Structure 1
Amino acid sequence: MTKAEKRPPRRSKILVLSLHYKPEPNFITADVAEAWAAKGSKVTVITVHPNYPTGKFYPGTNPWRITRTVLNGVTIWRLPYYTDHSLSPVRRALSYVSYAVVAGILAPLIGGRPDTVWAYHGPFMTALPALFFKWIYGSRLIYTCADLWPESFVASNLSLPRPAMRLLYAYSRWINKQADILLCSTRGTAERYEKDGVSADKLQYVPVWVEGISDIQLTESAGTSGIPNIVYAGNLGAAQPVECLVRAASILQKAGVEVIVDIFGSGNRERELREIVERDGVANVHFHGRVSPQRAFEASARATAQVVFLRPSPLFRMSVPSKLSFCFAAGTPLLYGLEGESARIAAETGGAIPFVAEDPASLVAAIRKLLATPPPEREAMRGRLRSYYENNFAREALLDQYVRLVPP
C-alpha cells in the first residue's frame, strides 16, 4: 500500500460567519454547522458573544474577550462586539459594522483556508469578512438571506437620509453578486435579488424550519383555569405590533369575554408593553419573558389560538417570518396579521383567520370568530396546519438541502 493510499481522505473545510449562534435563538446556524461536522467536514464558526434578542450579553459573558470552544464537533470562535438594539440608526449601524471589522481582521488568522464560507446574511454586513477567503483562496461563498436588507433596517423604525439609503442599496446589490449561491428564505426575496441583477442560477429557495418540536399531544388544552388562552411567542420589537394584542385583550376584558393572553419572549419594547398593561389594568395579559424554544412551542401547541403579526411595510409583504413555520408546526389555530407572501401562505393552510395587524378591533373580531367555531372544526384546523408544515417546512428535508451543498 502506498503512502497516498494510507493517507486518510481529505476533509472539506467550512467556515461559518454568523452574528448569532446558539445558545441564542438562531438555531439554523448550529443545525447546519453540526450537520456538516457530522458528515465529516471540518467546521469553524466565527460569531460573537450571545446577546440576542435583548441586546444585552448573557450572564457570565465577557464580551471583550476572544474565546474558542468545541461543541458537537464544531469549533466556535467568539469575538468582541459592540451590541446595540436601540432605535438610533448610528449606534445600530456601528453595531453591525463592528462584527464586520473585527471578523475581517481576525477571520484570516483563525479561519484557516476553507473550501466553503457560509455567511448567515442578516444583517448584510456579515458577509464582508468572507470576501478575503474568496479573493485570496478561491473559497466558494454561500449566503443565507434570512431577511431583506437594507429594508429590515427601515422596518425596525430606523430612519436614514436618502443618500445613505441609496448607498446601502448599492452595497446590497454588490455584496450579493459576490456569492456563488444565495439561499433565500422566501420566494419574494429571490425575486427581488434577481431584479437586482443576481444571476437566477445562483438563487435557491430554502424556507426556515423550526427548532424544539416534540411529539406532544396536539390537542387543545386551555390551561389550568380552563379559560381559553391565546399565545404570542416571539420578539417584542418594533416590527411586531404586540400593543395591538394587548389592547385587544383589554377590549375583551371590558366586554366580559373570558380569555387569557400569554406573551412569551423579550425585546426592546417589553418594558413599554408591560407599562401599558399595568397602567390600563389589563389583568388578562400575562408576560412570561424569554423562554426556551421547547417551552414556547409547547405553550403554543396547547393553546386555544396563537398570534403572528408584522407591521405593514413593503419589506414584510415580500418576507415570511420564521415564526410562521413555528406556528404551523404547533398546529394551533392561527390568527394572522400579515400581508403579501406570508398572508398567502397562512391562508393556504386552511387553519388560520386573518386580521388587520395594527387594528385591535379587527383582532377582537378574529378572536370572537375563533371562539365561536365548534371544537370539531378547531381540531380540523389543527390537523390542516400540521399537515401543511410537514409538507412544506419539515426540518429534516430543509436541513438536507444545506448538507448536500457541501461534500464531506
Structure 2
Amino acid sequence: MKKDVLIITSYFPPEIGAASNRIFQLAHGLQKNNFNVSVLTPLPNYPTGKIFDGYKGKFKHVSEEKNVTIYRLWIYASNSKNKLLRLIAMLSYSFSLVWFFMWNRIPKTVIVQSPPLLVAFTSMLFLRRKNRNLILNVSDLWPIAGLELGAFKRNFSYRILEKIERYNYKKASLVLGQSEEILAHVTSIFQEKPTFLYRNFPDFEAPSIKQTSSTGKLKIVYAGLLGIAQGIYNLCGQLDYSTIEFHIYGSGAEQTKIEDFISTHPELPIFFHGRVTREKLHSVLMNYDVTIIPLLNRIYGSVPSKIFEYARLGIPMLYFGGGEGEDIIKSHNLGWIANASDYDDLNKVISKIEVGNLSEEQKRTIQQTAVSQFDFNKQLLELVNGL
C-alpha cells in the first residue's frame, strides 16, 4: 500500500536554482519509491520576484506532473531589497499555507523545507497540533547564514529568528541536513534529535565526456543564481583576464550590475549568456574547461549543490568558498581550491591551470567518482527505509 507524503517548499520548478531542483528530485524520487506525493509551493516567482506567465491573476493552481500533485498557492511576490516587503512576501505565503491546512486533508507524513524560517515555522506550528510526523529539511542555517552575509545584525530581531529556528528543530521528528555542519549545529541544540545527512545529489544520466576545443585561453564558466551570496559582480572586477575567458549563465539580483560592468568594460573577455533551462545548461557546460563555484563569504553549513552536479558532468571545479564544500573538493580530487575571499590567491591558482593539461581522462575520473560516491538513489533509499 502506498504511503502519502506532503512536501512544503517555497521553491519548485519552473523556478530555477538548487532549492527547486532539490525538492523536485526528492518529490519524484519518493513517487518512484511507492509514495503518493503532493507538493505545496507558491505560484512561481523566483528569482524575478514576479509571478510567471501562465500563473498571473490566480489564487491557486493545481496540476498533476509525473504523478505528483502540485498545489501552487497565492503569494505577494517580491525580490525587493526592502526587508519589510520581503517579510510581507513570506507572511503572505504563510497565510496561504494556513488557509490550505484548514480546508484540506493533510497526510500523516510532511516534509518541510527550511529556509525560509517563517514558512517552516508556520508549517511546524500548525501541523504539530494535528499530530503529524514532521520532517524538517534544512538546506541552509538561518539566521546564522544571514548574519555571515551581513543581512542581519545581532539585535532583538535576530534573537527572535533564533527562537523560531530552535522551535522548528524542537518540533521536528527528524531533521534532514545537506551538510555535516548543519547536523552538528542541530545536535548542539538538541542532542537527542534524530538527524539524517541528505546531500543535494543530482539524479540524471551521466553524459559522455568530450574534449573541449582550445582557444588558447582557459574557458571558465559560472552558472547559477546571480545573488549577493555568490558575489559574481565582485568577481568580474577581481579576475586577472590575461589567460582566461569568463562566461556567465543565470539570473538574479546582481544581473543588471553584471551586464552594466560588461558593457562598460568591452575590452574584457566576459560573456553573459542569460538564463537557460537545466537540460540545456548541462549541454553547454560541457564546452568549458573549468567551472567556478564562488561564495562571497564563507557560510557555515553551506555546501553548494553545484559540486555534485558538475562532478556528474565530469567538469573540473575551481572552488572559492571555504567550509565543508572545500573539504569535499579536496577529498574527492574534483579540482582546485582557492582561499575564500582571497582574490590574489584565486588568480594565482588560475594562473597555474594550463589548458593543455586538462584531459578527458581527468574529467572521466571526476565523473566516475560522482557516480560511485554521490548516488542519489542509494541515499534516497536509506531515507525511505527510515520513513
**TM-score normalised to structure 2 length:** 0.90
CA–CA distance in structure 2, aligned partners of residues 75 and 262 of structure 1: 37
Q: Which amino acid aligns with 2:381?
A: D
Alignment match, 2:178: 185
Note the 1:294-373 alignment, pairs <5 A: 294-313=279-298, 316-371=299-354
CA–CA distance in structure 2, aligned partners of residues 304 and 264 of structure 1: 15
User: Structure 2 regions of 5+ residues with no counterpart?
Assistant: none
Q: Which amino acid aligns with 2:7?
A: V
Q: CA RMSD in A?
A: 2.3
How has the CA–CA distance of structure 1 residues 160 and 219 changed in structure 2, closer, same or farther, with 3 Å as cutoff? Answer: same
For each residue in 1:43-99, what CA deviation from the matched residue of structure 2 results, as whole angstroms up to 9, or x when unmatched? 222111112223232222215521211222222111111223233222222222222
Query: How many pairs does the alignment contain?
Result: 383
Alignment match, 2:84: 90
What's the secondary structure of 1:144's corresponding residue? strand
Matched, 1:49 2:32: no
1:122 Cα offset (Å): 2.1
Q: 1:280 pairs with 265, 289, 308, which one?
A: 265
Matched, 1:71 2:65: yes
1:117 Cα offset (Å): 0.8
The answer to whether the 8 A contact 2:152-2:158 is kept is no
What's the secondary structure of 1:100's corresponding residue? helix
CA–CA distance in structure 2, aligned partners of residues 78 and 113 of structure 1: 15
The answer to whether the 8 A contact 1:241-1:357 is kept is no
**TM-score normalised to structure 1 length:** 0.86
Alignment match, 1:385: 366
Alignment match, 1:3: none
For each residue in 1:168-201, what CA deviation from the matched residue of structure 2 results, as whole angstroms up to 9, or x when unmatched? 111101111101011100000000011122524x
Q: Which amino acid aligns with 2:347?
A: V
Identity of aligned pairs, percent?
22
Q: Which amino acid aligns with 2:326?
A: A
The answer to whether the 8 A contact 1:277-1:283 is kept is yes
1:260 Cα offset (Å): 2.3
How has the CA–CA distance of structure 1 residues 86 and 312 changed in structure 2, closer, same or farther, with 3 Å as cutoff? Answer: same
Q: 2:226 pairs with 216, 219, 236, which one?
A: 236
The answer to whether the 8 A contact 1:338-1:357 is kept is yes
For each residue in 1:370-402, what CA deviation from the matched residue of structure 2 results, as whole angstroms up to 9, or x when unmatched? 126624xx4444234223322332222223234
CA–CA distance in structure 2, aligned partners of residues 24 and 331 of structure 1: 25
Q: Which amino acid aligns with 2:71?
A: W
CA–CA distance in structure 2, aligned partners of residues 63 and 288 of structure 1: 31
How has the CA–CA distance of structure 1 residues 288 and 317 changed in structure 2, closer, same or farther, with 3 Å as cutoff? Answer: same
1:220 Cα offset (Å): 2.9
How has the CA–CA distance of structure 1 residues 288 and 145 changed in structure 2, closer, same or farther, with 3 Å as cutoff? Answer: same
Matched, 1:149 2:132: no
Alignment match, 2:109: 116
1:246 Cα offset (Å): 1.8
User: Structure 1 regions of 5+ residues with no counterpart?
Assistant: 1-8
Alignment match, 1:162: 155
CA–CA distance in structure 2, aligned partners of residues 228 and 106 of structure 1: 52
Alignment match, 1:204: 196
The answer to whether the 8 A contact 1:218-1:302 is kept is no
The answer to whether the 8 A contact 2:339-2:345 is kept is yes
CA–CA distance in structure 2, aligned partners of residues 39 and 100 of structure 1: 30
What's the secondary structure of 1:46's corresponding residue? strand
CA–CA distance in structure 2, aligned partners of residues 158 and 64 of structure 1: 32
The answer to whether the 8 A contact 1:247-1:360 is kept is no
CA–CA distance in structure 1, aligned partners of residues 78 and 381 of structure 2: 34
CA–CA distance in structure 1, aligned partners of residues 360 and 339 of structure 2: 24
1:342 Cα offset (Å): 1.2
What's the secondary structure of 1:20's corresponding residue? coil
CA–CA distance in structure 1, aligned partners of residues 386 and 78 of structure 2: 34
Q: 1:403 pairs with 376, 384, 387, which one?
A: 384
